[in-house]
Chain A
Amino acid sequence: MATFLGINLFGLFGQLLVGLINGSFYALLSLGLAIIFGLLKIINFAQGAMYMLGAFAAWLALQYLGLNYWAALVVVPLAVGLVGVLMERFLIRPIANEDHLYSLLLTFGVALMLQGVFTHMYGSSGLSYSIPEALSGGTKLPFMYLPDYRAWIICASVVVCGLTWWMIEKTKLGAYLRAGTENPQLMQAFGINVPLIVTLTFGFGVGLAGLAGVMAAPIYSVSPDMGSNLLIVVFAIVVIGGMGSIGGAILTGLAMGVIEGLTKYFYPEASNTVIFLVMVIVLLLKPAGLFGKEA
């Protein structure tokens, strides 16, 4: 057994890996929330339900359409994104001028309904989705065994987050998006179709949750409440990072996953609560969040 200063390195690296995996999902979900918040100024409470929807869609596609993991990885986020587009267009837009708390409550209602429907149809015990063949192996590293699928999740999440960051911060499309956040009226006056951008942005943010859902299906059990429990943690992460920057959402998500993993190794009793405790500390020291602007 490899130990260093009394620390079991196998255990430590194992938990670090689990932490990085969780962090990958945190990053994807909080990134989606941050993008939606940036333009619409609302928090999508249904983001967790959309993640769950993504996982179920992957499972259903395999079961009934014979669509494999790789196809699902492309099709499902688009389908979930489409659900988001419809939701924005027909449910959120009519109340866009009301207090934003109402849209929060609306998306909460949608989340309850989706969760209820899937609980009713598939029970709450959870379904299993097998790891795609190409990624079922693993690599032996000096201190740990790294399953391919887990390595894939971390890489895919980092690439997707990085691309999204690049698109928003560095491209012309992203510039429109940021301008729309700053001053929608002026953008409209310049002839940009702002409502369309808003709808598509919402769809994109929700699609990210769908993608996370597909990626999660093989390693977590596909169950109706997989999203809601995760979402509350992601909310805490959003409070920790603040909604100031896209990059901040990604970094905080990954970092919190790692912190959670480390806690699981050193003091397992606190692993469920450590992120909330970090949130408390951040609220005490820097109420606007690590990357947030003082509001």
Chain B
Amino acid sequence: MMKINKLYVALLLLAIVAPFFLYPVFLAKLLCFALFACAFNLMLGYVGLLSFGHAAFLGTGGYVTGWLMMNSGLTPELAILLGTVAAGALGAIYGKLSVKREGIYFAMVTLALSQLVFFVYLQAPFTGGEDGMQGVSRGHLFGVIDLADNINMYYFVLAIFLFGFWLIHRTIHSPFGQVLKAIRENEPRATSLGYNVNDYKWVAFTLSAALAGLAGSTKTLVFQLASLTDVHWHMSGEVVLMTLVGGVGTILGPVVGAGVIVTMQNYLSGGELGNYVHIIMGFIFVLCVLAFRSGIVGEFQKMWKRNFG
């Protein structure tokens, strides 16, 4: 346990000094996606349900926060809070519908529901349709700290990420989280022990959706933009890939995976290989599934156990 704590402290220090060496907006983007992937992993890694529609929550958080920042004069922290609540509410509704089905059906239901959201945002007047919401102002945090400054923005995002990460960590290690793992391992047994399995799944789904919304809300502020890309099914696929690359069911895996994928996309989109992004992503998908199912963090843990455990 001590080793793990040391690792966390080292990572935290790294995150604090990072903006002095790397572009803060890129780092903030990375943290947003890391939080998004962590939220997704709560479902796949700890409940064993593959949601193929998490983009709906990312996008809902983003649109609600963006709209509030442009039209209401609320401070950014309140806009983010309301964006998160909106995504959580949508998650509660979708959760009620989707946890009735398992496995592959769950993936299809969530994908179809997120496509419904996509079409609604495509047609709704307030989202700006194909153009999206542009020029969202970042505002002043608590009315005081100017977030237009990228360094301020980064530390605000870092604080949000740490809160989300902590919440997920707490959830997984709580009695509630233990029941979730029991459901993942053996659902009939969890049912026979008297747990109302669907209720547990539903609460987990709602929490996961709210946290994905938090990531989306924050991302809108960072980029000052909310667009249809965030609700497209490609985005739902990307978060699956991030989690898979990093390691499903490990707490740091999604963070590492998000780091790898976001860095790769940033690197590729600038260079000649820009057109190949989807081909490369598809290839990584196939490769991960065939040969690398534990992901980076999972493989590392296995190696660690073999040599030092």
| A284 contacts the other chain (CB 8 A) | yes
In the complex, which of the residues B123, B244, B279, B293 has the most CB atoms of chain A within 10 Å of its own CB atom?
B279
| B86 contacts the other chain (CB 8 A) | no
The main secondary structure of chain A at its interface with chain B is helix
| A152 contacts the other chain (CB 8 A) | no
Which residue on A lies nearest to B286, using beta carbons?
Answer: A109
Report yes or no: B104 in contact with A106, Cβ–Cβ below 8 A: no
Least Cβ–Cβ distance between A130 and chain B, in angstroms: 29
| B97 contacts the other chain (CB 8 A) | yes
Report yes or no: B109 in contact with A279, Cβ–Cβ below 8 A: yes
Q: Which residues of A contact B282 (CB under 8 A)?
A: 108-116
Q: Which residues of A contact B275 (CB under 8 A)?
A: 119-120
What count of chain B residues pass the 8 Å CB interface test? Answer: 41
What count of chain A residues pass the 8 Å CB interface test? Answer: 45
Report yes or no: A108 in contact with B115, Cβ–Cβ below 8 A: no
Report yes or no: A116 in contact with B111, Cβ–Cβ below 8 A: no
Report yes or no: B111 in contact with A232, Cβ–Cβ below 8 A: yes
Chain B interface: which of A72-80, A91-99, A132-140?
Answer: A91-99
| A117 contacts the other chain (CB 8 A) | yes
The main secondary structure of chain B at its interface with chain A is helix
Report yes or no: A108 in contact with B50, Cβ–Cβ below 8 A: no
Q: A112-B278, A232-B112, A276-B112 are in contact. Are A95 and B233 (CB under 8 A)?
A: no
Which residue on B lies nearest to A103, using beta carbons?
Answer: B289
Report yes or no: B293 in contact with A98, Cβ–Cβ below 8 A: yes
- Which of B98, B102, B108, B123 is close to A235, meaning CB atoms less than 8 Å apart? B108
Q: A42-B104, A116-B278, A235-B112 are in contact. Are A284 and B97 (CB under 8 A)?
A: yes
Report yes or no: A109 in contact with B289, Cβ–Cβ below 8 A: yes
Report yes or no: B111 in contact with A276, Cβ–Cβ below 8 A: no
Report yes or no: B285 in contact with A119, Cβ–Cβ below 8 A: no
Q: How far is the CA of A203 from the CA of B187 in the complex (A)?
A: 34
Least Cβ–Cβ distance between A164 and chain B, in angstroms: 22
| B170 contacts the other chain (CB 8 A) | no
Report yes or no: B293 in contact with A112, Cβ–Cβ below 8 A: no
| B120 contacts the other chain (CB 8 A) | yes
| B284 contacts the other chain (CB 8 A) | yes
Report yes or no: A112 in contact with B279, Cβ–Cβ below 8 A: yes
Report yes or no: B278 in contact with A101, Cβ–Cβ below 8 A: no
In the complex, which of the residues A43, A232, A233 has the most CB atoms of chain B within 10 Å of its own CB atom?
A232
- Which of B107, B115, B280 is close to A104, meaning CB atoms less than 8 Å apart? B107
| A220 contacts the other chain (CB 8 A) | no
Q: Which residues of B contact A295 (CB under 8 A)?
A: 102
| A86 contacts the other chain (CB 8 A) | no
Which residue on B lies nearest to A105, using beta carbons?
Answer: B289
Chain B contacts with A in 244-258, Cβ cutoff 8 A: 244
| A192 contacts the other chain (CB 8 A) | no
Least Cβ–Cβ distance between B118 and chain A, in angstroms: 9
The 0/1 profile, CB within 8 Å of B marked 1, for residues 271-285 of chain A is 011001101100110
| A244 contacts the other chain (CB 8 A) | no
Q: A106-B290, A109-B284, A109-B286 are in contact. Are A116 and B276 (CB under 8 A)?
A: yes
Least Cβ–Cβ distance between B49 and chain A, in angstroms: 9
Chain A contacts with B in 52-106, Cβ cutoff 8 A: 91, 94-95, 98, 100-106
- Which of B101, B115, B244, B293 is close to A232, meaning CB atoms less than 8 Å apart? B115
Q: How far is the CA of A115 from the CA of B275 in the complex (A)?
A: 12
3 tightest A-B CB contacts, nearest first: A109-B285, A112-B282, A113-B282
Given contact pairs A105-B240, A116-B276, a sample of 6 additional A-B residue pairs in the complex whose CB atoms are under 8 Å apart: A109-B283, A111-B282, A114-B282, A116-B277, A279-B112, A284-B97
Residues of B within 8 A of A (CB): 50, 97-98, 100-105, 107-109, 111-113, 115-116, 119-120, 122-123, 233, 237, 240, 244, 275-286, 288-290, 293
